[in-house]
Amino acid sequence: MIDPMNILDAKEDRAYLQEKIIKKYNLPLVVIRANYPGIDKNNKTTKYIVENIYNLILLRVSPDHIEKIDSFEGPIFLLSVNLSPIKLKKITVEIESNHPLGRLVDIDILDLDNHTLSRTDLGYLPRTCFVCSDLAHNCVRSRKHSLEELLKYIEDIVLNFKKDDENV
C-alpha cells in the first residue's frame, strides 16, 4: 500500500532532480504532472492526462532535454526549453485554461534560479476548483469536496475527452 510519506519522498527527489537539470542545461524547466487528489497518483488516468498534455506542449515548444519519471507522485515530464520563463508560463496557462484536460494538470515553470513562476506573477487569476467556482486553494484547505467527488469529476472529464477524441 502507498504511504503518504512515499509521495513526500518522491517530491523531494523530484525537487533535487529539477535543480540538477536546471544547472546542467542552464535553461528554464517545464514540469508536467497530473493534478490528481489522493495517494494513488500513478495510474492509467494520470498517465493518459500527462501524456496528452506532454504531446500538446511538444507541438508548441522544442525541448533541448526531456526526462520522464514515474514515481509515487505519478508520471512527470521535465522539459528543458530554450524560451523565457514568462513565455513558457503564458503557453502553459493557455493550455491549463483552454484544453479539456488542462484543469487536470499542473504545469510548473522553473526559472534559472529554480524559482517557480506562478499564474499571479503574470497577472492571471488563481485557479478555481474543479467542482465549484471557489478558489481551488480554499477548497483544498477546507476539504470542501470528498475524494470520491473529485475522482469522479476527473474520470468524467477524461472519459468525455476520450469520446470526443475518438470522434475526430
How confident is the model over 1-20, as pLDDT tens digits? 888 999 999 999 999 999 99
Predicted TM-score (pTM) of the model is: 0.94
The answer, yes or no, to whether residue 37 has pLDDT greater than 70, is yes
Q: In what order do the strands lie in the sheet with 29-34?
A: 65-71, 74-80, 29-34, 105-110, 116-117
Predicted pLDDT of residue 38 = 92
- Report residue 91's pLDDT band, with 50, 70 and 90 as the boundaries: very high
Question: Measuring CA to CA, how many Å separate 91 from each of 5, 109, 112, 140?
Answer: 33, 10, 18, 25
Which residues, at least 6 apart from 122, have a Cβ–Cβ distance to it below 8 Å?
86, 89, 90, 93
> What is the rounded CA–CA span in Å between residue 104 and residue 51?
12
Predicted pLDDT of residue 168 = 58
Q: Which of 33, 38, 4, 52 is nearest to 149 (CA)?
A: 38
Topology classification of domain 4-124? Alpha-Beta Plaits (3.30.70)
For residue range 108-154, list pLDDT tens digits in order: 999 999 999 999 988 998 888 988 889 988 988 998 999 999 999 99
Q: Which of 148, 149, 129 is nearest to 140 (CA)?
A: 129
Q: Which of 65, 54, 55, 70 is nearest to 14 (CA)?
A: 70
For residue range 44-85, list pLDDT tens digits in order: 999 999 999 999 999 999 999 999 999 999 999 999 999 999
Residue corresponding to grid cell 542545461: 25
Predicted pLDDT of residue 166 = 73
Predicted pLDDT of residue 131 = 86
> What is the rounded CA–CA span in Å between residue 152 and residue 62?
34
Q: 102: which DSSP letter?
A: G
